[in-house]
Amino acid sequence: MALYASAEIRRTEYAAQAMLPPYTLMQRAGKAAANAALQMLSDGAYKARILVLIGPGNNGGDALEAATLLTQAGAEVVALVQGDVNKLPPDAANALARAARAGVHMMPPEQFFTIDGIAWSLVIDGLLGIGLQRPLDGALRSLVATINTLNCHVLALDVPTGLNADTGMVVGPDGIAIVADQTITFINDKTGLHTGDGPDYAGKVTVAGLDILASLAPPAHCWLNTPDLFDSNLQPRARDSHKGSFGSVAVIGGASGMSGAAVLAARAAAKAGAGKVFIGFLDHGPAYDSNQPELMCRVAAELDLTSVTLVVGTGLGTSPPAHDLLVKTLMTPRDLVLDADALNLIAIEPALHQLVAQRRQSALHTIMTPHPLEAARLLGVSTANIQSDRLAAARRLAHNFNAVVVLKGAGSVIAHPNGDAIINPTGNPALATGGSGDVLSGICGALLAQGWSDWNAAMGAVWLHGSAADLLVSQGCGPIGLTASELIPAVRSVFNELVYSRSAAG
């Protein structure tokens, strides 16, 4: 589940190459790519017509080796060679010679644009791989644009051409990248395949380790989220339990006209397992929640904050009373989730930064859950800056505020103050709806109340939140039109299934 930056992958690759005969890694990569291609062909290689895009580096060599093996398996393979074949690196030049001897047809790019109507079975993208720093332009941009219009499956090798392997963003403000159905990535998994634009362009990601010794990889500091990472918290409940066994949560927010945000967070906290849940409304909220009367509604100023886990900011507003209430919660020695308007208030007052950062020194757990705009306000940059490198932004926030940070979005990033990070693979566009973030903050609060650390609670909450959306979409509810309130019972279902299925299996 470890994820690596391209520079780390390069170091591992160079170390492995120093221990192996020349061309060994390219042969292994080509074989892995050919096997992945064969699995994507519904009728196998026989009569398949495969277009292989060949770039000027070793990524192109990997593709050429795959082209040779696919030709030998019975496919009709056309290699479109981009760049000067006389300047290929030694291993790639060797692969080119092998492909020519095997009968792979070499097509210059200019010929590709003159033909029309060919029904390709599969396209293999071996153009650029990792390390791309500038946007695609000229003939290469035109080629990628054309490939994206073809009615066939696309397999990318290592990383789709045009996608930054580290940040997960298409390179350039008006950039373009190959849209792949599947990406087979070599040596180790890449961070950029799982966040930002990455999931939309990489498709299904598989890893081919190329039989490289695991000891050659550097220590990991980023991982793909999985229940195995928070497994120690997934314990069935003892029969001799009571509501006090699972903690209490107080959701603080719900200013006039925004009480629904606090109600959503509180409902989520209850269905994610908190023993008791209060709503502390900034103004006079409803006397009770008719849909979930178990929630205890109060005026926030009258709540005893010293015996509850706090979820602060959902619908809080930014008025002076909201500010004063936030300060009170930051100074309360209780575990705390900061969301929405709590983050906006912190962003405009440096003194509040210090209150947040000092909490960890007192062994208090703190989770911050910004979306990109809130993250931009907290760091004093643009939203585009945040999205250009989501992993770096989340790490910077965690360091600055000495808190666990969940940077929401496609491939939500969870960052620890020590620099470790998690990228979450669950979820889908159904979560792009009002109130979804309030539900997440409520889940975070419930897990903290049940004794989870802020690191584990953030991982668990984000995984459950995304998995609930995935479950609903699989059942035909969404992604279009799914509402935040529909997520809440699905979170409960996923959570119970996760805990008790693992218990039965164990």
Residue 110 has pLDDT above 80, yes or no: no
pLDDT per residue over 120-146, tens digit each? 999 999 999 897 888 999 999 999 999
C-alpha to C-alpha distance for 208 and 227, rounded to whole angstroms: 23
- For the cut 80, the answer to whether the pLDDT of residue 45 exceeds it is no
Q: Is 366 annotated as a binding residue?
A: no
Judge if 275 and 202 occupy the same domain.
no
- Is 315 known as a binding-site position? yes
pLDDT mean over 97-120: 86
103 is in an annotated binding site: no
Based on the domain organization, do 99 and 197 belong to the same domain?
A: yes
Write out the residue range of the structural domain in which residue 396 sits: 240-505
DSSP state, residue 450: T
In tens, the pLDDT along 377-396 reads 999 999 999 999 999 999 99
pLDDT of residue 87: 87
- 408 known member of a binding site: yes
54 is in an annotated binding site: no
Last residue of a domain, one of 182, 217, 252: 217
Q: What is the pLDDT of residue 502?
A: 80
Confidence (pLDDT) at 191: 97
Structural domain contains residue 55? yes
Q: Is 412 annotated as a binding residue?
A: yes
Residues 289 and 209 in one domain: no
Report d(CA 39, CA 66) in Å as an integer: 13
For residue 319, the domain's CATH number is 3.40.1190.20
Is 409 annotated as ligand-binding?
yes
Task: Provide the 8-state DSSP code for 208.
Answer: E
- What gap in Å lies between CA 15 and CA 379, rounded to an integer? 38
Q: Are residues 187 and 252 both part of a single domain?
A: no
223 assigned to some structural domain: no
Q: Is 58 labelled as part of a ligand binding site?
A: yes
Q: Is 56 labelled a binding residue?
A: no
Do 252 and 398 sit in the same domain of this protein? yes
Q: Average pLDDT, stretch 416-440?
A: 97
- What is the average pLDDT across 412-427? 98
Angular region, 409: left φ>0, alpha ψ -120 to 50, beta rest: left
- Report the CATH number at residue 71: 3.40.50.10260
Report whether pLDDT(506) > 70.
no
**Per-residue pLDDT for 205 more than 70?**
yes
What percent of the chain is modeled with pLDDT above 90? Answer: 90
The answer to whether residues 211 and 91 belong to one domain is yes
Residue 319 lies in a domain: yes
Is 291 annotated to bind a ligand? Reply is no
In the numeric block, which tokens belong to residue 295? 């929630």
pLDDT for position 133: 81
Q: What is the b/e burial string over 339-364, where b = at least 16 CB atoms within 10 angstroms of the residue's CB?
A: bbbbbbbbbeeeebeebbbebbeeeb
Quick one: 38 and 101 in the same domain? yes
How many structural domains comprise the chain? 2
On whether residue 267 sits in a domain, the answer given is yes
CA separation, residue 165 to residues 89, 338, 506 (Å): 21, 31, 37
Question: What pLDDT score was predicted for residue 119?
Answer: 86
317 in a labelled binding site: no
211 CA to centre of own chain: 26
Any domain includes 315: yes
Structure tokens at 45: 């290689």
- The answer to the question of whether 129 is labelled as a binding residue is yes
Q: What are the pLDDT digits (tens) for 144-154?
A: 999 999 999 99
Residues 81 and 116 in one domain: yes
Residue 225 lies in a domain: no
Judge whether residue 478 has pLDDT over 80. Answer: yes
Work out the average pLDDT over 410-435.
97
The pLDDT assigned to 112 comes to: 81
Q: Are residues 300 and 333 in the same domain?
A: yes
User: Does 133 carry a binding-site annotation?
Assistant: yes
Q: Is 411 annotated as a binding residue?
A: yes
Question: Any binding-site annotation on 456?
Answer: no
161 is in an annotated binding site: yes
Residues 153, 200, single domain; the answer is yes
Range in 7-16, 39-48, 222-231, 347-356 with the lowest mean pLDDT = 39-48
88-102: average pLDDT: 95
The token pair at 388 is 């250009």
To the nearest whole number, what is the mean pLDDT of the chain? 95
Among candidates 257, 318, 244, which has minimal Cα distance to 284?
257
Q: How far apart are CA 36 and CA 45, in angstroms?
A: 12
Do 211 and 248 have their domain in common? Answer: no
Amino acid at 225: N
Evaluate if residue 44 carries a pLDDT over 80.
Answer: no
